[in-house]
Amino acid sequence: MKWLTCFLGFLISIVTFGQTAKIDSSAVLVQLKCNAKMEDVLEELPELSAYSINEVRQVSRNLNAYKISFGAEVSPVEVIDAFETSSKVLLAQKNHMITQRSTPNDSLYDKLWHLNNTGINGPSGIVPVAGADIAVEPIWDSTVGGTTVLGDTIVVCVVDDGIDADHEDFQGNLWVNHNEVDSNGIDDDGNGYIDDYYGWNAYAQDGSLTNPVSGDYGYHGTRVSGIIGARGDNSIGITGVNQRVKIMTVVGGGDEAEAIAAYDYPLTMRKIWNETQGDSGAFIVATNTSWGTDYGQASEAPLWCAMYDSMGQAGILNTAATINADIDVDVYGDLPTTCPSNYLIAVTNTTARDEKANYSGYGVENIDIGAPGEDVYSTTFGSGYGYDNGTSFASPQVAGVIALLYSKACEDYIMLAYSDPAEAAYWMRDFILNGAVGMPDLYGVTVSQGRLDVEEANNWLENYCTGNVSVEEFGQENGVLLYPNPTTNKFNIQQQILVYNNLVVFDLTGKKVAEYRITTSSFELDISLWPEGMYILQLTGTDGLKTIKLLKN
C-alpha cells in the first residue's frame, strides 16, 4: 500500500486581523508533483541562481516537499513567484515560525488533580472543584495502557524539543526501534532514517533526543511526555494518563519546515507498520504537538495542514494545543489548530476549578475540546517534577486518552484499525468529542462545548463495540433515534426535543455529501440515490455535537 500524497486541494478564505503570524524571511516551502525532482526544477528555472539559494532540503518524502533557503537580499514572495512558474510545482508558500505552548502507588500521585480531583488536592492557593478532572481512574480498573487486545504495542509520538530519557519515571515507557542498531551510522531497517533507534531529530537529522537549536534539551517535551505516559504504579514520582505506553520522541517544530519534517517520521513509521502488518515500523495512534504559530492562517499553510489528513489516512489521530491568549482563533487565526482536518483535535486549557483558563484560545468552529492544563504537575528535565501552565499541557491529556482507549478497545475496533486505519482514527476522534462533559465556560466557544472525560469517551467506544453507537436511549432527555439503520432508501431522525437543527453528512473520506436544516423533531430523508456505503451524520444544535454512523445498503 502506498500513501504518497500527490495532490493537494485546499482552499480557504480567512480574514486576517491585527496581529499576523511570524514568517521566516530566509526560506520558503515548495511541494512538487508526485514524480518530479527538485534538481529538474532548479535546472528549469535558471533565474533562481540570482536568489543566492544556499540550502535545498527535502522535509517530507510523503508530500514531496522541500525547504528552500536563500540570501537576505531577496524576499520570500520573489522566490515563491519564481517556483510557481514551473509546471512541476504543486504549490509554493511562506515558512511559518513556531513557538512552544507552554490510583497507582506513585509517591506524588496526590498532586495529579487533573487525573483525580478530590476537591482538596489542587495546586497551592487554588480551591479546586471535585470532579474537575479527566475521570481516568475508572478506566484503570480494566486497563493501564500499553497494548491492544490483540497484543499490539501502542505508541504515542511527541513532537517537541526532546526528552530527558534518563528520567526515573520514563524507564520502560520509551519507544525503541528494535530494527535499528544505535549509533552505527547505517540505516539498518531501510526506512530512510539513519540511527533512529529512540526516535528522530528533524533539526540534527539523526537519532539524538535533544534540540541543538533552542538549547532547551527537552525542558518542554519532558513535561509533555510525562502527562501522556510517565510510568505508573512503580512507587516513585507520578503517572501519566497511560501507566504503560511507548513514547516516541521526535525533535522538531522551530518553523513550519521543521514541523513538516518532524511529522514525516511518525507518518513513515505508521505506514511501514500498516504495510508489513506490524512486523516493522510502529503502531502510532496519536501525535501531540504543544506548539504553533500565533495568529497563523490555515489558508497560508496548506502543506502543514495537509500533513494531518495524510497522517489520518495512515491511522494517526493528532492533538494540538491552541494559542495561550484569550482570543477567538476563528477570527484571528492560529496554527495548526485552525487546520480543517478530521484527524486533528484542537485543545484549549481548563483549570482545577473547571473553568477555561483566562489566557487560552477558543473558537466554536476550530477549538474542539478543553482539557486540564493550568497548574498541572508532571516530570521535569533532570529527573525532577513540578507544576506548569498552558495549553501545552492540556493537549497531551487528549493524546494520552487516545492511546488509553486503544488499549481498552474491543477486537472488532482493532481489526478496523488494521483494515481501515483512517476510519478507526476518525471514530476515535468522534468518541472523544462526543464524550466531552459539558462545561459552562466552554459553551459556545468550542466544538464539543465540554472538557475531556475518559469515562464518557469509553462509553462511546463501548457503544461502538456492542453495535449501539447509532441509537441512544430514547427515553432520556434530548435523546435521538435514527431508524432504520442500515437502510436502503430512507431514514428518519427523531428527537424527543428539537435541539439538533443542523445535519451535515460526510462519507468516510471526510468529503461533505450534503447539509440539511432540521425544523421538526421528526425528520425524514430520502437517500435512494446515494451510493452504497457508510456515512457519518453530524448533528449540531443547542446541545452541542452528536455524530452517528449510517449504513446505506
Contact present, 182 and 173 (Cβ < 8 Å)? no
Give backbone dihedrals phi and psi of 451, rounded to 5 degrees, phi first.
Answer: -105, 150
> What pLDDT score does 507 carry?
77
DSSP string for residues in 322-342:
--SSS-BHHHH-EETTT---T
CA-to-CA distance for 370 and 94, rounded, in angstroms?
31
pLDDT at 163 over 80: yes
Domain with CATH 3.30.70.60 in the chain: 23-96
Q: What is the CATH number of domain 480-552?
A: 2.60.40.3080
At the fourth CATH level, which superfamily is domain 23-96? Ribosomal protein S6/Translation elongation factor EF1B (3.30.70.60)
* CA-based nearest residue to 173, from 400, 340, 424, 392: 400
Mean pLDDT, residues 117-126 taken together: 85
pLDDT at 190 over 50: yes
Domain with CATH 2.60.40.3080 in the chain: 480-552
> What pLDDT score does 465 carry?
87
The set of residues, in sequence order, having a beta carbon less than 8 Å from that of 103 and lying 6+ positions away, is 109, 116, 137, 140
CATH class of 109-466: alpha beta
Share the mean pLDDT of the chain: 89
> What pLDDT score does 267 carry?
98
* CA-based nearest residue to 67, from 96, 30, 40, 41: 30
pLDDT tens profile 17-50: 456 788 999 999 999 998 899 999 999 999 888 8
Contact present, 113 and 122 (Cβ < 8 Å)? yes
Domain with CATH 3.40.50.200 in the chain: 109-466
pTM above 0.85, yes or no: no
> What pLDDT score does 463 carry?
85
